[in-house]
Amino acid sequence: MRIQASGATLGATVTDVRLHSIDGGDWKQIEDAFHAFAVLVFPGANLDEEEHLAFSRRSGHWNARFRSAPDGRKSRCSRTSPMAA
């Protein structure tokens, strides 16, 4: 897994990780990065709806809201309280 700070006030990009099958060690790194950077971007995660919801549940209380993207596909906007420590 690679975590690269964005260089902005907050945020980091997380690459080289399979979010649908992360183990406890990788999860700890993701949690630590969330606490350090507040915003994490996972480019190319390509999670299906069930995988996305499973990841969301693991990170704390999330509310998933759905809307239609311009091309007609469903896209998701999620927000959460901070990850459980």
pLDDT, tens digit (0-9, with 9 covering 90-100), for 53-78: 888 788 775 555 555 556 665 555 54
What domain count does the chain have? 1
pTM of the model: 0.67
What digits encode the pLDDT tens for the residues 3-29? Answer: 999 988 889 999 999 888 888 889 999
Note whether residue 85 is domain-resident: no
Average pLDDT on 32-42 reads: 91
Which residue range forms the structural domain that includes residue 64?
A: 2-80
- Report how far residue 34's alpha carbon sits from residue 56's, in angstroms, rounded to the nearest whole number: 13
Helices (H), the chain: 24-37, 49-58
Residue 18: half-sphere exposure toward Cβ, Cα within 13 Å: 4
Which of 61, 64, 4, 60 shows the shortest CA–CA distance to 27? 60
Note whether residue 29 is domain-resident: yes
